[in-house]
Amino acid sequence: MPLTELEGAALGLIWSRGATTAYELRKLIAESPTPQWSASAGTVYPLVEKLRKGRLISVSITEDKRGTRHLHIMPAGKRAFKTWMLDCSPAVTGVPPDPVRTRVRFLEMLSSSEGTRFLAESERNLRSQLARMRPRKGESWSESLASLGARLSQRKRVEWIIKVRKLGRGPR
Amino acid sequence: MPLTELEGAALGLIWSRGATTAYELRKLIAESPTPQWSASAGTVYPLVEKLRKGRLISVSITEDKRGTRHLHIMPAGKRAFKTWMLDCSPAVTGVPPDPVRTRVRFLEMLSSSEGTRFLAESERNLRSQLARMRPRKGESWSESLASLGARLSQRKRVEWIIKVRKLGRGPR
DNA sequence: TGTGACATGTAATATGTTACATGATTGA
DNA sequence: TCAATCATGTAACATATTACATGTCACA
């Protein structure tokens, strides 16, 4: 069966970094520009176990008392990862959901003053999120392309909400 | 407790359309520009039941044999909806996840020819999704603002993937 | 009379979150 | 020695999907 987004990303991280721990995986995922992905312990550890059971990764345990578990990608894991990468289904290429967009869809349900306040707050928060999204040093080539994409996307959301504010002044 | 995205959207739809059936709700959600939202029967019917139990909506049953259940928003539902609308938490205003972006993050894991193929396929599919997103007639004012946002966002994804293709030719 | 749209629901499963629980290692 | 970080996990719960199951109504 196909990999989920998180499984694909986890496999990619394990592959690109060589020996990784589940703990590191969590932090890497949390650092990603998308704040929706929290990758809590309750997600990552069962996920790692599932990948291991499916023989997509192997686990080596250190000899010391702590017994840190390092994850390694296996041949089947590489194949599964590539299949996931090359998947261009509508779920991948279709417009991603946007909670602000969903709310704007119902803008007309608010009173004029509520709507104005909502749009002002939204613009402010979209902007402050954007400001936080600086490219990090040490980013690899493809990481920087991805984080560029995240910034462009967020900038477009800001431009759009400004347009909404302008258009909103008309029909109300 | 706060409403989920689907609950908020469902309440908004029930409010804006007056008497609605769960079945209509499903279709409306499926028609939305975001293909991720399927709102299957297994989602919508339990969700409607939950809203009813929480006294956010009421249900009226027709007298005929079919007994169609029409949904109506209640005062507590209106309050919950407005609270949901005005929520500007990072989960709402942060960059939404984008599966193509996630994959581009791992572009360097592909061979040169695989990468080229991936990017070409992605651009083609992003474009064909965009082409499908025409504004529908009969859209309300705020619906058209939302669908404009969806198109702008998708267009930006296309522009970005083109940039990735150009930049990608350099370091490889 | 039969087909397609209308209409409602359940069961099994998948996926992910929050909160809890534990212990090792490092450096001030 | 104490605090922060490293490190692994479980339990209860929430949310959503797929597939299945059932029945009505309009109309050709």
Indicate left, alpha or beta for A58 from its phi (over 0: left) and psi (-120 to 50: alpha): beta
Taken in order A82, A87, A93, A96, is the CA torsion positive or negative? negative
Establish whether the CB of A68 is closer than 7 Å to any nucleic acid atom in strand D: yes
Residue A61 lies in a domain: yes
B53's enclosing H/E stretch is: helix B41-53
Query: Does B59 share its domain with B78?
Result: yes
Beta-carbon separation of B34 and A141 below 8 A: no
For the record, the structure tokens of A9 come out as 């990303």
Other beta carbons less than 10 A from residue A51's beta carbon: 24
Query: Does B49 share its domain with B114?
Result: no
End-of-domain residue from the set A66, A91, A116: A91
Residue carrying the six token digits 């990072």: B90
Query: Does B132 share its domain with B74?
Result: no
Residue A163 lies in a domain: yes
Q: What residues 40-69 of chain A have any CB closer than 8 A to a CB of chain B?
A: none
Q: pLDDT band for position B170 (50/70/90)?
A: low
E-state strands within chain A = 57-61, 69-73
Query: Does B19 share its domain with B45?
Result: yes
Residue A50 lies in a domain: yes
Query: Does A107 share its domain with A84?
Result: no
Q: What is the mean pLDDT of chain B?
A: 93
Residue B172 lies in a domain: no
Output the domain CATH number for residue A38. 1.10.10.10
Taking the CA of residue B66 and the C1' sugar atom of nucleotide D25, their distance in angstroms comes to 9
What's the rounded mean pLDDT across residues A46-68?
Answer: 94
For the record, the structure tokens of A104 come out as 């704007």
Beta-carbon separation of A88 and B152 below 8 A: no
Residue A148 lies in a domain: yes
What's the rounded mean pLDDT across residues B121-147?
Answer: 93
Query: Does B40 share its domain with B80?
Result: yes
Q: What is the DSSP string of A123-170?
A: HHHHHHHHHT-PPPTT--HHHHHHHHHHHHHHHHHHHHHHHHHHHHTT
Least CB–CB distance from B146: residue in A16, A104, A146: A104
Query: Does A47 share its domain with A108?
Result: no
Q: What is the mean pLDDT of chain A?
A: 93
Query: Does B9 share its domain with B87?
Result: yes
Residue B109 lies in a domain: yes
What's the rounded mean pLDDT across residues B56-64?
Answer: 93
Query: Does A42 share its domain with A86?
Result: yes
**pLDDT of res. A147:** 94
Residue B31 lies in a domain: yes
Would you say B160 and A168 are in contact if contact means Cβ atoms under 8 Å apart?
no
Residue A100 predicted with pLDDT over 60: yes
**pLDDT of res. B169:** 63
Cα end-to-end span (Å), chain A: 51
Bridge pairing between strands A69-73 and B69-73: unpaired
What's the rounded mean pLDDT across residues B9-23?
Answer: 95
Q: What number of C-beta contacts closer than 8 Å exist between A and B?
A: 231
Residues in chain B closer than 8 A to A160 (CB atoms): 148-149, 152-153
Query: Does B114 share its domain with B145?
Result: yes
Least CB–CB distance from B104: residue in A84, A88, A149: A149
Nearest C-alpha of chain B: how many angstroms from A61? 26
Q: Average the pLDDT over each of A44-53, A134-143, B33-42, B58-67 and give the range with the smallest value.
A: B33-42
Instruction: Count the domains in chain B.
Output: 2
Beta-carbon separation of B163 and A148 below 8 A: yes
Residue ranges making up the domain that contains A81: 5-91
Taking the CA of residue B172 and the C1' sugar atom of nucleotide D17, their distance in angstroms comes to 40
Distances in whole angstroms, Cα of residue B88 to Cα of each of A99, A100, A128, B93, B97 = 10, 9, 11, 6, 17
Least CB–CB distance from A105: residue in B35, B81, B143: B143
Residue A172 lies in a domain: no
Residues in chain B closer than 8 A to A157 (CB atoms): 95, 149, 153
End-of-domain residue from the set B34, B64, B91: B91
End-of-domain residue from the set B65, B91, B117: B91
Residue A170 predicted with pLDDT over 70: no
Q: What residues 127-146 of chain A have any CB closer than 8 A to a CB of chain B?
A: 128-129, 133, 140-143, 145-146
Other beta carbons less than 10 A from residue B100's beta carbon: 24
Query: Does A79 share its domain with A103?
Result: no
**pLDDT of res. A138:** 85
Give strand D nucleotides closer than 7 A to any protein Cβ.
6-12, 14-21, 23-25
What's the rounded mean pLDDT across residues A122-146?
Answer: 93
Query: Does A78 share its domain with A11?
Result: yes
